Chain A
Amino acid sequence: MPAGLLILLYLFAALLPLGLAWAQGLEPRSIADELASGAGILALAVILAEFLLLGRYRFVARRVGTDIVMRMHQLLARGAAILAVVHPFLYTTRRAPAPDWDVNRQFFVMNDFAAIWPGMIAWLLLPALVLMAIGRNALGYRYETWRLMHGLGAALIAGFGVLHTLRAGRYSADPAMGYVWLALLGIALFALAYVYVFTPLAQLRRPWTVTSVDPVAERTWEVTLRPARDFAFRYRAGQFAWLNIRNTPFGPHENPFSISSAPSAGPEVSFIIKELGDFTRTIGSIQPGTRAYLDGPHGHLTVADHKAPGIALIAGGVGIAPMMGILRELHAKGDTRPTALIYGNRSEAQIACGDELESLTREHGTRLTHVLCEPPASMACKLGLITPEILRDHFGNAEHRAWLYVLCGPPAMMEAVEEALIALGVPSSNILSERFSYD
């Protein structure tokens, strides 16, 4: 689905309740009161639309990119939280149980406790949820714990928010608007169930078995899985999948990892994983034969759809994982386009699949440049970080502007490389990247 159409659909969903409220033709109250009601309506609509921006629905993420969808999810939730938090303070009209003659709540703002308490719970939970998401790393939660709390919290906020607006809202008293709220809530909860119930159910029918766990660099492993039953997993080199090893597919025990294998190599799928968190620190202890589940493929970090005359792969650290998949696939397919790989690491010990990279790039004719902060004396490489000068040395000619650039690595590296490439005249449409950390 094109990005422009997605944005229009999003705006339609977010603005529909406000438009319906307007269309009711009720006599407007004071500007402050209308602003208060409007802010509450808009905030709730955005919150419900957030459930479609989870990055797990391919019809949403395919064209825009999973990471961009996730980033919009983060940003839009913050705006909705601000609107939701301020909206009760904007009312100026008397708060009291509305008398029978005030049918349209023209003169009184509902203050019945039965109508207010769901809103108070949602009002407390929403900013807490947003702050916990922003400070997730600093707060030190286990990823699985945070995910569970985030999903449950979001479902509670949506449910209590809709209950509040149905009981207290001046405009939501209209039956048509009430049905719209219930429909939006239904869609939101279905979206959540799609990730936590329907996808795991499908995964049960497509189990995987770990066939090997090999060390490929310092604290870095390549995990290979094969289908435990007869099914095909179709993906493109460079994509990623949510990997769940040892646990039931029902639950928060899955993490996104880039696929490092080539689709044309067969049914086995590999991931290069660095020990960085709670789950990844246990990777080395996983035994062959362990049951695993995959949700995927996801992501757009793939060269398969691009006809660029050359391909540049620029990786930092474990960002080499999708590049290995792309290189392996290009070589297996006999792709004749010129290629270059710039691979940054702190030390030689962190270079993943070093020997294979040497032979693969030599056989495929790929220009390989290692960039190390702490290089050994004997190694031919660039010193330090992947700088604009290194990029100019490699891609400074006019013909390189039409190449496709694939970036994967630490956010700071990707931003610096992207800006340097744009400064060299490369259009941003020729730069592919995926990042999952912005704050």
Chain B
Amino acid sequence: MTRWLSHLPLRRRIALAYAGLNAVGLLALIAFALRGLV
């Protein structure tokens, strides 16, 4: 994993970080919206 990451071009590492931040934000948003179901 570390080796794979260390051989990713900068553009793809930025895209990965962006996707990760988006995923966390969307998960938090969905959890907030669905909290009434629990």
A residues contacting B by CB (< 8 A) are 7, 10-11, 14-15, 18, 21-22, 27-29, 31, 34-35, 38-39, 42, 46, 68, 71-72, 75-76, 79, 83, 415, 418-419, 422, 427-429, 431, 433, 438
Contact = CB atoms under 8 A, between A and B. Distances in A.
Contacts of B22: 79
Contacts, number: 74
Interface string B14-38: 1001100110110011101111110
A429 B5 CA distance: 10
Nearest to B14: A71
Contacts of B34: 31, 34
Contact of B10 (A22, A35, A433): A433
- Chain B interface, >50% SS class: helix
Nearest to A35: B33
A75 B21 CA distance: 11
A34 B28 contact: no
A367 B11 CA distance: 29
A419 B6 CA distance: 12
Interface of B: 6-11, 13-14, 17-18, 21-22, 24-25, 28-30, 32-37
A332 to B, nearest CB: 30
A411 to B, nearest CB: 9
A29 B17 CA distance: 33
Contact of A422 (B7, B14, B18): B7
A301 to B, nearest CB: 12
A79 B14 contact: no
Contacts of A42: 25, 28-29
Nearest to B24: A11
Nearest to B37: A31
Contact of B29 (A18, A27, A71): A18
A15 B32 CA distance: 11
B18 A34 contact: no
Contacts of A79: 22, 25
B11 A415 contact: yes
B15 to A, nearest CB: 9
A22 B9 contact: no
Contact of A10 (B6, B9, B21): B21
A34 B9 contact: no
Contacts of A429: 6
A18 B6 contact: no
Given A35-B30, A46-B25, A83-B29, 18 more contacts: A7-B17, A10-B21, A15-B28, A18-B32, A28-B35, A31-B36, A31-B37, A68-B10, A68-B14, A72-B14, A72-B21, A76-B18, A415-B9, A419-B9, A422-B7, A427-B7, A428-B10, A428-B13
24 contacts: A7-B17, A10-B21, A15-B25, A15-B28, A18-B28, A18-B29, A21-B32, A22-B35, A31-B33, A31-B36, A34-B33, A38-B32, A42-B28, A42-B29, A46-B25, A72-B14, A76-B21, A79-B25, A83-B29, A422-B7, A422-B8, A428-B7, A428-B9, A438-B11
A418 B12 CA distance: 11
Nearest to A435: B10
Per CB-CB distance, the 3 closest pairs between chain A and chain B, nearest first, are: A28-B36, A35-B33, A34-B33
A429 B2 CA distance: 12
A42 B6 CA distance: 31
B11 to A, nearest CB: 6
A275 B9 CA distance: 30
B9 A422 contact: yes
Given A419-B9, A428-B13, A7 B21 contact: yes
